[in-house]
Amino acid sequence: MTKQLYLKPRSAAEAAALLAEHRRAVIIGGGAYVRLGSRRIDVAVDLYDAGLDYVRRTPNGLELGAMATFRMLETAPELQDYADGILVRCVERIVGVQVRNITTVGGTLFGRYGFSNLITALLALDAEVALHHAGRMPLGDFLATKPDSCDLLTAVFLPDQVWRASWQDMTRTVNDYAVLNVAAARCGDQARVVVGARPGRGVRCPEAEAALLAGDADGAAEVAASTLEFGNDVRAGGDYRRELCRTLVARATAEVLA
């Protein structure tokens, strides 16, 4: 990676102004993957000092700053019991502490990575995101849109709901990225079943959610495995992922129902 102009704004507003001025600028939101690249970067906007590194309670739930690191999620007192600690569980074994210290919430969501544990877990909790220009929207809507390199993701919001939740994943080695990940959650008459690393990013399975509401863990597992799409990559084949989905969804939904 080579850089010609390295900018460190002191606020989200200043960062947005710099992105408007330098429309081809690259945002450094942690930089875990940017550092691996070899492309020339003429303008880099580093959000490290923009005041977005926080986890806090709000009157309506929880707010995660875009620069909150995975290590912050792992250790934040506010997240230990929220939704049965699903956000802690989904990040606590990712690679190593050094990587979790630089990988951020905003960088992960803006990257829309298929292997992301965090995306899968947040979708199960009805998370919303805030962007400087586009405003607030459901995470699912944000993921369905094309990234706008001139906008800035500033925060993630989690509702003040008592979710019964479960996190399940399978990795080939300790601390590796998941071959498949699953998040299940239930709150009253609402249920969520999300499957990610298929290797595509996490998606909800409405049919499995209906089975979860009906108290049928095995039915949720079967319908998720039969209706979702699974593909091949260096970690696993599609057929293996389908069988793994059946197992992990059964475990997750059974845990939610327990």
* Residues 248 and 171 both lie in one domain: yes
Answer with the one of 159, 181, 200 that is the final residue of a domain: 159
Question: What length does the chain have?
Answer: 258
* 96 or 66, higher pLDDT: 66
* Residues 64 and 123 both lie in one domain: yes
* Residues 195 and 240 both lie in one domain: yes
Closest CA to 120 of 104, 145, 140, 135: 140
Query: Model confidence over 107-163: pLDDT tens digits?
Result: 999 989 999 999 999 999 999 999 999 999 999 999 998 877 778 999 999 999 999
The per-residue pLDDT for 38 is 66
Q: What is the mean pLDDT of the chain?
A: 94
Confidence of residue 176 (pLDDT cuts 50, 70, 90): confident
* Residues 98 and 149 both lie in one domain: yes
Check which CATH number belongs to the domain holding 14 and give it.
3.30.43
Query: Model confidence over 37-57: pLDDT tens digits?
Result: 667 888 999 999 999 999 999
Most confident of 29-38, 108-117, 189-198: 189-198
Answer with the one of 101, 133, 159 that is the final residue of a domain: 159
Q: What is the mean pLDDT of residues 176-198?
A: 97
pLDDT at 247 over 80: yes
Contact 223, 211 (CB under 8 A): yes
Answer with the one of 159, 187, 221 that is the final residue of a domain: 159
List the end-to-end C-alpha distance of the chain, in Å, as a whole number.
49
Domain membership of residue 189 as a residue range: 164-257
Write the burial class of residue 200 (CB in 10 Å: 0-12 exposed, 13-18 middle, 19+ buried).
middle
* Residues 7 and 40 both lie in one domain: yes
* Residues 183 and 220 both lie in one domain: yes
Q: How many domains does the chain have?
A: 3
The per-residue pLDDT for 24 is 87
The per-residue pLDDT for 219 is 98
Of the listed ranges 37-41, 75-79, 133-137, 254-258, the one predicted with least confidence: 37-41
DSSP-derived secondary structure letter, 25 = -
Residues 6 or more apart in contact with residue 127 via CB below 8 angstroms: 138, 139, 156, 157, 158
d(CA 101, CA 72): 8
Check which CATH number belongs to the domain holding 97 and give it.
3.30.465.10
* Residues 62 and 154 both lie in one domain: yes
Please give the C-alpha separations between residue 186 and each of 49, 63, 115, 238, 254, in angstroms, as whole numbers: 37, 20, 23, 28, 11
d(CA 35, CA 51): 22
The per-residue pLDDT for 32 is 73
The per-residue pLDDT for 109 is 95
* Residues 88 and 9 both lie in one domain: no
Beta strand pairing status for 128-131 and 153-159? Answer: antiparallel
